[in-house]
Each structure stands twice: as C-alpha cells, then as structure tokens.
Amino acid sequence: MTSLSDGFQDRYALEFRAATYRLPSGTPLISGLTLSVARGETLVLLGRSGSGKTTTLKLINRLLEPTEGEIFITGRSSVSWDPIQLRRGIGYVIQDAGLFPHWTVERNVGLVPRLEQWPEERIQARVREMLSLVGLPPGEFAKRRPSELSGGQKQRVGVARALAADPPILLMDEPFGALDPITRIDLQKEFRALAQRLQKTIVFVTHDVREALFLGTRIALLDQGYLVGVYAPAEFLKATEPEVHAFAASLDFDGAHEGAK
C-alpha cells in the first residue's frame, strides 16, 4: 500500500496548481491558487476571516475537493488518494482541538495509531512519548478527560494526537487562536522549537501577523480567495501590496498600543 512517506523523493510536499474551490451555488472560496510547499518548511497561510485559509487546508486533506485545478500531495493528485489513507498520513489540529470529550487523553492521542491497528503496547509507548513531547507528564494527564484540561493543555493534546502516527505533513487551523495571550506565546515558542526539531512539512493557518512572522519559514497571504503573494518573514513588512499594508498596520497599532501603556 502507498503511504505518504513513500512519495518523499519529491522536492515539494504539497503543490496547488490553479486550484479553485466553488460552493455548489457557484461562489468561489479559493480562486486559481498556485502554491508550493517544500518538504520540512512551515508555510503560514495568513489572511482575514473569509479569505479562504481554512478552505485551502481542507483541500489538502480532501475534506474538500477542488472544483477546478489540482492539489498534489507528495507528487500525487489529492483526488487520486484514498481519502482515509491520505488523512491518516496528515496530522490535523483545529482551533478547539476537536478532542473527543468522551475519551481520555490517552485514547485521544492514540486515535490514529489505533485506527492503523498498531499493536497495543506500541500504541501505549507512543502515547507516552507524545505526551512528554508536548510537555504533559503522562502519569498526570493520560487518564484525564478533555473537560479536565485547560485550553492550553487541550491544544497540547491536540498536537500530540496529530503527531502520534508520525505523519510527514501537519495541518494546523488557528490552533492557538482561542488561548489567552500568555499561554499563546508559550505554545508558539514551544511549537517553533518542535517544528524545527521534527522537520515536518507544516501548513499553519492564522490571522495573527505576529504569529505568522514568528512561526513561518514563508508566509502566503490570502485575500478573498486569491493569493496576494508569498513572502519570507523578513520581506513581508517591506512588501508593497495593500493587503500587506493592512496587516502591517495592525502590527503598528499593537505596537502603538503597547507603547502608550
């Protein structure tokens, strides 16, 4: 059986070729997106609400299929993958973590390995490894329910669950968006270190410029379904496009605000 790791002789982990996604009503959410994501990089999709960031993510793990164009995952068109097989090779973390409230932390983290029918003792070991990796001592957290976790802890479990089956690609949809600013900064720092260490291909959705500049190896700016441009973090604030200015201005405002205090 083909798995995602097999296709990794390709330079690009992900490639959008003129991909468009329309609602059944005809309204496009993503228009003619052409974009490549290299192996091991963290590409941040930045944009306002409704700019098509989440749609772009869902096109990758085939929760949505492009109405025009194609998306290649490790060199193979998304629609030619078996969706189940594809998704098990792509970690997925969403804003509220989407943990199963009726399962313990342990069982949540072991989800994909169990779906893939790993032997039980290997799952156990992997779950402990993953919980330690995201800074949650297994002895203390393994048996808890999601309702017994703080927002930050939930997101850590979400990341542990996404990484459990060691997928080469990780999709993150505003994973730190609902956290308080202090917890958010902690998680961003830890996540950046983790991303550098694990060498996964990561696509990270956010509307927070600071987060984009801090985490991204490149930033892809989306506006109303169109790609404005792709920038290295150092270039981003120098770019001349109006949408970049709009985001840069939000940064200035933050700065001015903090300065006034």
Partner 1 sequence: MNWYEFLLRNRNEVFERSLEHVGLVGASMAISLAIGLPLGIALVSRPRLQRWVIGAANVVQTIPSLALFGFLIPVPWIGGIGASTAIVALSLYALLPILRNTITGIAEVDPAVVESARGMGMTSRQVLWQVQLPLSMGVIMAGVRVATVVTIGVATIAAAIGAGGLGVFIFRGVAMASNPVILAGALPAALLAVAADLLLGLLERRLAAR
70's tokens: 């194609």
Segment interacting with partner 1 (CB under 8 A) among 24-32, 96-104, 232-240, 244-252:
96-104
3-state secondary structure 178-240: CCCHHHHHHHHHHHHHHHHHHCCEEEEEECCHHHHHHHCCEEEEEECCEEEEEECHHHHCCCC
- Rule CB under 8 A: choose which of 29, 37, 73, 99 binds partner 1: 99
Q: In the bound complex, what is the minimum distance in angstroms from residue 29's beta carbon to partner 1? A: 16
* Residue 57 DSSP one-character state: H
Secondary structure of residue 251 in the 3-state scheme: helix
- Rule CB under 8 A: choose which of 86, 205, 212, 222 binds partner 1: 86
Quick one: 258 exposed, middle or buried, by C-beta within 10 A (0-12, 13-18, 19+)?
exposed
Site residues for partner 1, 143-172, by CB under 8 A, read 161-162, 171
> Of the two residues 46 and 94, which places its CB atom closer to partner 1 in the complex?
94
> Of the two residues 152 and 244, which places its CB atom closer to partner 1 in the complex?
152
> What does residue 155 show for φ and ψ, rounded to 5 degrees?
-65, -35
Segment interacting with partner 1 (CB under 8 A) among 18-26, 33-41, 109-117, 119-127:
109-117
- Rule CB under 8 A: choose which of 29, 37, 112, 228 binds partner 1: 112
Would you give the distance in Å from CA 167 to the centre of its chain?
12
Asked whether position 79 contacts partner 1 by CB under 8 A, the answer is: no
> Of the two residues 6 and 252, which places its CB atom closer to partner 1 in the complex?
6
Contacts 24+ apart (CB under 8 A), 130-137: 130/160, 130/161, 130/163, 130/164, 131/105, 131/157, 131/160, 133/160, 133/163, 133/194, 134/159, 134/160, 134/190, 134/194, 135/190, 136/105, 136/160
What mask, x for binding partner 1 by CB under 8 A, covers residues 49 to 78?
------------x-x---------------
Q: In the bound complex, what is the minimum distance in angstroms from residue 23's beta carbon to partner 1? A: 17
Asked whether position 100 contacts partner 1 by CB under 8 A, the answer is: yes
Asked whether position 85 contacts partner 1 by CB under 8 A, the answer is: yes
Residue numbers of the site for partner 1 (CB under 8 A)?
61, 63, 84-89, 92, 94-102, 111-112, 115, 161-162, 171
